Amino acid sequence: MKKTLLFILICASTFQGSAQTKDLQQLQSDFVDLRFGVMMHFNMGTFTNEEWASPDHDPALFNPAQLDCNQWADACKAAGMTYGILTVKHHDGFCLWDSKYTDYDVASSPLKRDVVGEYVKAFRSRGLKPCLYFSMWDRHNGVENGGPKEEAFVMNQLTELLTNYGEIPLIIFDGWNWKMGHRLISYQRIYDHIKKLQPNCLVSDHNGNGTLQTDIIYYEGPKGVYPPGNNIYPSQMALTLTDGWFWHPGADKQVKSLDYALDKLQRVIPLYCNFMINIGPNRDGLFDKEVVARLQQIGKAWKRDQQRLPLPQQPAAIKSFIRVAAISATEGEAVIVPAGPANAGSPVAAILDQKKPEVMIDGISDVVGDRGGFSPFQTYWKFSPSKTPGVVLDLGEEKSFSKLYYLPAQLMGYSGIITKYILSVGHTPDAFIKVKEGDWSKTDALKVTTFSPVKARYIKLEIAAAIDDPMISEIGIGN
């Protein structure tokens, strides 16, 4: 088995087994109609009693002697679930498939079996849709701070996952938005690569509760994040059936009650949000018998609500994000929440040390409240009082675009929200032509303004009105 790390992307054709390509609205609608699924944290942490396993464990530790993905699938089917998400790679970098690009995988373990392949086959054979969890933050293989070589490594592994296992309805990323941001590893290039391989594969990310750069919002329930009562966006939320994401000794005594599961199903699914129960298979590679029994109880007690209205028509999404080369702004300050040095769970030190307006284009917009581990995190620019505050984006060269997006600073109430704007473009940094002006709603939701396509190098946003001193978490353009 050749294990040479390559940084040249595999040339792979688009998956041929896929059904006819659907538009995003249809894919999102189909996904939220799945309603109920399972997330399974099963990886090196299962055998080391860690939620975030160290990145240099001996692969020999991974040895589920009785691994049976069919048992998982049968138990999930009995619960009334319709899909699954498996942690094919967590933050330590251990891969549950035989990857050509690392030795830190199942092929180097005593198991020497393709867990991803067995999972996909077992779930698909029971009519359950197999989805994947993939950590962008890979501490074993050096994908910690982003970069071109690291991005190529990620794309190569995604090629393996999306060409060798048939149709994958969704892939969810972790350790990206909140760790290194969507700039150090390009969201657009990763997204385009996935859609080239599998056009119907939805992309989700652990990025708080916003719609920026994700097809499906993910709410991390154990961190206290639930869909709002007026939610109209396609989303999913996970809660753990025991006291951890991974299996730990004593987990069989921690299985939460039937009423706990039914309560969450009844509260979450009417809000166009799929509910996932997270289960950690044990060190034998099986669901504990107590887990199997609880899933059977759920299946007997829970009935799918047929009365929910169809998913509302979603706002027009930006399909292609154009990379901004540089940004300038009127006087202000970069705000990093929380402040302080980087540590194992925080973004890279360079992001935490930002002092300039580039904080508005760093790709960090995560605001998930955390009840343990690290605090809610975001970066933004707070403008000083000025007659006409604003920013100028430099694309580096002339490009065509038709949309601008603005994400307000989050968790601030109304404070800092821009309510009136003037948008201009230019071929030089000192001559601009107005293309749009208007109002933005007094909410902290993502704002997208559309205008007739233009070709220019510079874009200027003038802030005509705001609540208190304006703040911008992220800003950019696209089509």
What are 118-170's pLDDT values in tens digits? 999 999 999 999 999 999 999 999 998 899 999 999 999 999 999 999 999 99
Residue 92, pLDDT score: 97
In this model, does residue 9 exceed pLDDT 80?
no
pLDDT tens sequence across 333-391: 999 887 665 566 678 888 888 999 999 999 988 776 554 444 567 899 999 998 899 99
Check if the beta carbon of residue 204 is closer than 8 Å to that of residue 220: no
In this model, does residue 262 exceed pLDDT 80?
yes
Alpha-carbon torsion 188, 146, 237, 290, what sign? positive
Q: Please, what is the angle between helix 69-78 and helix 289-301, to 10°? A: 30
In this model, does residue 304 exceed pLDDT 60?
yes
pLDDT tens sequence across 281-296: 999 999 999 999 999 9
Q: Which whole number is the average pLDDT over 298-305? A: 93
Residue 343, pLDDT score: 61
Residue 352, pLDDT score: 84
Give the lowest-confidence range in 3-7, 104-108, 153-157, 466-470: 3-7
Cα separation, 203 vs 123, whole angstroms: 20
Give the chain's mean pLDDT.
Answer: 92
- String of DSSP letters for 225-283: ----TT--S-EEEEEESSSSSS--TTGGG-PPPHHHHHHHHHHHGGGTEEEEEEE---T
In this model, does residue 173 exceed pLDDT 60?
yes
In the chain the domains, ranked by start, together with CATH numbers, are: 24-301 (3.20.20.80), 321-478 (2.60.120.260)
Angle at 147 between CA 478 and CA 88, to 5 degrees: 90
pTM of the model: 0.93
Cα–Cα distances in angstroms (integers) from residue 467 to residues 279, 442, 464, in the given order:
44, 9, 11
Angle at 91 between CA 89 and CA 92, to 5 degrees: 85
Cα–Cα distances in angstroms (integers) from residue 131 to residues 44, 76, 161, 213, 308, in the given order:
19, 14, 11, 19, 24
- Residue 430: pLDDT band by 50, 70, 90 thresholds? very high
